[in-house]
Amino acid sequence: MTDKDSFDFVKDSIEPDKINDYIVKVGKNLAKDNLSNLLYLWNHSPKELLDDILMNLIWALGEYGEKFSLSKPIIKDIINYYFTSDRWIREEILIALVKISSNNDLPDDVQKILEFSLQDDYPSIH
């Protein structure tokens, strides 16, 4: 099954397991044109579904950003999720931002995340 076939199979799915499997597959075998599929899932998934696939999406975007350039609006969207997410998502966002920073300039908003993360009162999950 080609990447296009795989994406067509999951893009309108409401089954988080199928979508997460696709995201992980894409994240492990990145190509430059995968970004549009990841962003489609990010921007078009209903909130309940997005909650179930968000961690894998952030992970895949971090992997993508380590290898390819990401636009500032995409990075800002990731940053914005930090302040409304649970600790697991926040931890994944921090890891993704470190990866993204190796190949992209990060906006000043990252400083807010670093300050906020230092105030979190729970031990690291790693």
**What pLDDT is stored for residue 104 in this prediction?**
84
- Name the more confident of 5 and 77: 77
**What pLDDT is stored for residue 6 in this prediction?**
83
Number of domains composing the chain: 1
- Domain of 37 in residue numbering reads as 3-119
User: Does 126 map to a domain?
Assistant: no
From CA 7, how far away is CA 122, in angstroms rounded?
A: 37
The sign of the torsion formed by the CA atoms of 113, 119, 122, 124 equals positive
User: Does 94 map to a domain?
Assistant: yes
User: Does 82 map to a domain?
Assistant: yes
What confidence tier does 4 reach under pLDDT thresholds 50, 70, 90?
low
Amino acid letter for position 25:
K
pLDDT in tens, 42-97: 999 999 999 999 999 999 999 999 999 999 999 999 988 888 888 899 999 999 99
- 3-class secondary-structure state, position 120: coil
**What pLDDT is stored for residue 123 in this prediction?**
59
The sign of the torsion formed by the CA atoms of 95, 120, 105, 47 equals positive
Q: What is the pTM of this model?
A: 0.86
